[in-house]
């Protein structure tokens, strides 16, 4: 079954919409779904034009398509465990929070906290991702624990903060403090990064581009496939692995 | 001509987070004519008060200001706030805790966001404390025990002028024989400042190099100086080793950090690293760390919001329950994304401190400002309501930068209503209105 949600024009287009019920599983049956626009509770149909096509047999076969200006729609696919969500434009914050399975494809850009604390499944973002992609919530000791996030564009600051498991692959550049406090998992950045892997404890961070302002507390171990291998962060007895291209500025 | 002169002792200065409580104010004919003991900043808070206040509430009509009554101003606030879809209640650090408490309850009532100036000063410090804790102490402990003091990214001689004389370098200490001779001051800053002039050791680091220097210091204290390169963010390794030794030899150390560390790149990561540096030093000797809070009662806003909502600032009540996520629910972010459709600004001046896009948005939406004096935000707001000044003609509780509550004193009668009474009136009217709907 395909569910197409098209944004209706809004009087105040900048108001955030919290829509954690946009989760493929919730479109089985005909229950009433509600979203929050600012401090007002609205029916899903007040915000989106909902069109359902085909029959449902299981949540894995449900494809939810989001159309229109969805850049202010937050928490899409929260706790999602199966099915597919395709966002044709940009998506707001917290997309794929705590996701356990299924697939989210974002054809535009994603705002902050993409795949926050996700446990499984995969997210593909064709545009840029905002800050805190694959990280944890404030004060949380573990960020993303499993699954895969692939970002074709650039990622913002604090990419994969507290990354504990799973893989994040950014094809473009990352902002400041990528892989800060990493505790496991694998972070691959094809472009440049600034102050990466700060205070890392475990895990692997691979940077193919240039590193700006590399931290002084990484111990050079050797070379592997033309890349330099560092261990750290020595400041906290970390046993992480930072693999970088030889050029460091 | 006959003048009535009076001197009032033990006044609490409502300017900065030091909350000096030994101010003497001279009054001549019911006007402040002199201030003793206060620093220049504090003295001018008192001396510049007279003749600078707004006479009464004003409202923008077209391109003119119109005088309105307090009742009209409250009615406008009640209507605007209760009809808004995403009201923002910002400021709170210049007013008393009693007003802040009403602010937090009002946010819950109207489904708004309540944020204090913390989000643009020491918010990152709180994020770091939430990650790794806070090995802190009161300023009394520092005064009586500390023999090594670090000022990192802060310039107290110009920003908190009496901090050194009341609590650190120039203060007498109960447990030190000759405090001034025994105390060492280490200053970390990106440029020479008035405070670096009096330091026994000045570490000049490159802009944005705080995290690197802290990481290097942690590695050195842990005995891993072998990995540290010869220069770290413009600081020679030999100096870092010397400073680390000084820190380890201290009997009691106190690290104070200012917005020079919290508001540079990396923000809360810098503070986290500083806390972990202090943590590492505590394996050798006693060290504490404290933020140099700016506004008189900004610490109070964190205390009040925490005991009412569970979170220290940036609390979003849009869905009826408290949600906190700095970066998403902080005032600057909400205004920059043009989310807010009404704003109440209490006792602060975002017009002077916020990014331009935020100010532009504040000017577009109905903005109600509570401030006794005309400020940069006056030019952005729709209504300005003057109220009594905390510590001059209003009394209440304020929290010092180390979390000690101090009762401010009222020593003048001016006839202005207090912000507590005005906010209480607004809260009650909105509550009645909601009950009738």
Confidence bin at B50 (pLDDT 50/70/90): confident
B97 and B136 in one domain? Answer: no
Please state the rounded mean pLDDT for residues B173-193. Answer: 94
**Taking 80 as the threshold, does the pLDDT of residue B185 lie above it?**
yes
Q: Using an 8 Å CB-CB cutoff, list chain B residues near A112.
A: 327-328
Enclosing domain of residue B205: 123-291
Q: Using an 8 Å CB-CB cutoff, list chain B residues near A235.
A: 215-216, 218-219, 222, 273, 276
Output Rg (C-alpha) for chain A, integer angstroms.
19
Please state the rounded mean pLDDT for residues B15-37. Answer: 93
B204 and B154 in one domain? Answer: yes
- Tell me whether residues B211 and A195 touch, CB distance under 8 A: yes
Confidence bin at A245 (pLDDT 50/70/90): confident
In a domain, residue B336? The reply is: yes
B316 and B272 in one domain? Answer: no
A39, A159, A233, best to mutate vs chain B, most B CBs in 10 Å: A39
B233 and B262 in one domain? Answer: yes
Q: What does the mean pLDDT of chain B come to?
A: 95
Nearest to B218 among A12, A18, A235 (CB): A235
B134 and B111 in one domain? Answer: no
B141 and B206 in one domain? Answer: yes
B193 and B132 in one domain? Answer: yes
- Helix or strand run (H / E) with residue A73: strand A73-74
DSSP assignment of B180-192 equals HHH-EEEEEESS-
Given B249, B276, B291, the domain boundary residue is: B291
CA distances from B276 to B113, B256, B288 (A): 32, 14, 11
pLDDT (tens digit per residue) in A128-162 = 999 999 999 998 899 999 999 999 999 999 999 99
Q: B110 is written with which tokens?
A: 């109207």
Given B291, B309, B335, the domain boundary residue is: B291
Chain A, nearest residue to B277 by Cα: A235
Please state the rounded mean pLDDT for residues A46-74. Answer: 93
Cβ atoms of A98 and A116 within 8 Å: the answer is yes
B368 and B301 in one domain? Answer: yes
Half-sphere exposure in the Cβ direction for A5 (13 Å, CA): 27
Please state the rounded mean pLDDT for residues B335-344. Answer: 97
In a domain, residue B52? The reply is: no
In a domain, residue B131? The reply is: yes
Cβ atoms of B210 and B261 within 8 Å: the answer is yes
B243 and B109 in one domain? Answer: no
Confidence bin at B381 (pLDDT 50/70/90): very high
Output Rg (C-alpha) for chain B, integer angstroms.
23
DSSP assignment of B139-181 equals HHHHHHH-SEEEEES--HHHHSTTHHHHTSTTS--SS-SSHHH
End-to-end CA distance of chain A: 51
* Residue B217 belongs to domain with CATH number: 3.40.228.10
B283 and B181 in one domain? Answer: yes
The alpha carbon of residue A234 is apart from the nearest alpha carbon of chain B, in Å, by: 6
Percentage with pLDDT > 70 across chain B: 100
State the ipTM, two decimals: 0.94
Number of domains in chain B: 3
Chain B, nearest residue to A161 by Cα: B269
Domain boundaries, chain A: 1-108
pLDDT (tens digit per residue) in A83-131 = 999 999 999 999 999 999 999 999 999 999 999 999 999 999 999 999 9
Q: How far apart are CA A18 and CA B3, in angstroms?
A: 64
pLDDT (tens digit per residue) in B305-335 = 999 999 999 999 999 999 999 999 999 999 9
State the pLDDT at residue B1: 61
* Residue B394 belongs to domain with CATH number: 3.40.50.740
State the pLDDT at residue A247: 59
Give all strands (DSSP E) within B243-346, no chain letters.
252-257, 286-291, 315-316, 323-324, 342-346
B194 and B95 in one domain? Answer: no
Percentage with pLDDT > 70 across chain A: 98
Helix (H, G, I), strand (E, B), or coil: what is residue B373? coil
**Taking 70 as the threshold, does the pLDDT of residue A249 lie above it?**
no
State the pLDDT at residue B168: 94
Please state the rounded mean pLDDT for residues B261-270. Answer: 93
B316 and B426 in one domain? Answer: yes
């Amino acid at each position: 079954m395909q569910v197409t949600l098209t944004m209706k024009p809004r009087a105040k287009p900048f108001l955030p919409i919290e829509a954690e019920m946009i989760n493929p599983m919730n479109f089985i049956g005909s229950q009433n779904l509600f979203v929050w626009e600012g401090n007002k509770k609205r029916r899903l149909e007040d915000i989106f034009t909902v069109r359902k096509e085909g029959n449902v047999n299981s949540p894995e076969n449900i494809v939810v398509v989001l159309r229109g200006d969805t850049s202010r729609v937050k928490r899409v696919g929260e706790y999602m465990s199966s099915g597919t969500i395709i966002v044709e434009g940009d998506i707001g914050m917290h997309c794929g929070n705590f996701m356990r399975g299924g697939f989210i494809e974002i054809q535009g850009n994603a705002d902050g906290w993409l795949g926050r604390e996700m446990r499984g499944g995969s997210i593909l973002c064709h545009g840029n991702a905002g800050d805190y992609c694959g990280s944890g919530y404030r004060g949380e000791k573990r960020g993303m624990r499993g699954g895969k996030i692939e970002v074709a564009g650039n990622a913002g600051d604090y990419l994969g903060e507290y990354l504990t498991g799973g893989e994040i692959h950014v094809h473009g550049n990352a902002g400041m403090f990528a892989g800060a406090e990493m505790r496991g998992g694998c972070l691959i950045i094809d472009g440049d990064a600034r102050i990466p892997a700060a205070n890392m404890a475990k895990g692997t961070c691979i940077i193919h581009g240039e590193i700006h302002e590399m931290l002084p507390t990484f111990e050079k171990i050797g070379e592997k496939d033309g890349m330099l291998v560092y261990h750290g962060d020595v400041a906290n007895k970390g046993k992480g692995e930072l693999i970088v291209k030889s050029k460091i500025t | 001509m006959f003048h009535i002169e009076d001197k009032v002792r033990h006044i609490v200065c409502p300017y900065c987070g030091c909350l000096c409580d030994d101010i003497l104010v001279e009054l001549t004919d019911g006007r402040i004519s002199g201030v003793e003991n206060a620093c220049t900043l504090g003295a001018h808070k008192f001396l510049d008060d007279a003749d600078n206040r707004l006479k009464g509430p004003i409202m923008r009509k077209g391109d003119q200001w119109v005088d309105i009554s307090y009742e009209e101003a409250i009615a406008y606030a009640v209507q605007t706030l209760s009809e808004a879809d995403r009201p923002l209640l910002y400021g709170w650090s210049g007013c008393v805790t009693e007003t802040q408490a009403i602010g937090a309850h009002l946010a819950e009532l109207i489904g708004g966001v309540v944020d204090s100036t913390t989000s643009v000063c020491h918010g990152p410090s709180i994020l770091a404390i939430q990650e790794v804790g806070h090995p802190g102490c009161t300023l009394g402990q520092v005064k009586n025990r500390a023999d090594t003091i670090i000022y990192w990214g802060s310039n107290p001689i110009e920003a908190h002028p009496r901090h050194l004389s009341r609590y650190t370098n120039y203060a007498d200490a109960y447990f030190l024989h000759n405090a001034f001779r025994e105390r060492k001051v280490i200053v970390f800053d990106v440029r020479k400042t008035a405070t670096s002039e009096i330091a026994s050791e000045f570490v000049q680091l490159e802009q944005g190099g705080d995290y690197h220097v802290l990481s290097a210091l942690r590695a050195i204290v842990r005995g891993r100086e072998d990995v540290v390169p010869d220069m770290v963010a413009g600081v020679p390794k030999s100096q870092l080793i010397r400073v680390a030794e000084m820190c380890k030899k201290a009997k009691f150390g106190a690290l104070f950090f200012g917005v020079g560390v919290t508001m540079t790149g990396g923000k809360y990561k810098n503070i986290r690293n500083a806390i972990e540096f202090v943590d590492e030093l505590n394996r050798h000797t006693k060290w504490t760390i404290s933020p140099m809070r700016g506004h008189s009662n900004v610490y109070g806003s964190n205390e009040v919001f925490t005991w009412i909502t569970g979170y220290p600032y940036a609390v979003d009540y849009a869905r009826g329950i408290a949600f906190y996520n700095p970066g998403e629910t902080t005032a600057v972010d909400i205004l920059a994304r043009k989310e807010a459709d009404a704003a109440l600004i209490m006792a602060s001046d975002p017009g002077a401190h916020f990014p331009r896009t935020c100010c532009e948005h504040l000017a577009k939406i109905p903005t109600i400002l509570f401030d006794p004096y005309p400020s940069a935000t006056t030019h952005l707001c729709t209504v300005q309501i003057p109220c009594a000044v905390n510590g001059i003609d209003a009394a209440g509780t304020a929290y010092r930068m180390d979390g000690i509550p101090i009762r401010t004193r009222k020593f003048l009668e001016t006839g202005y209503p207090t912000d507590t009474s005005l906010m209480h009136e607004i809260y009650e009217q909105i509550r009645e209105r909601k009950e009738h709907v």
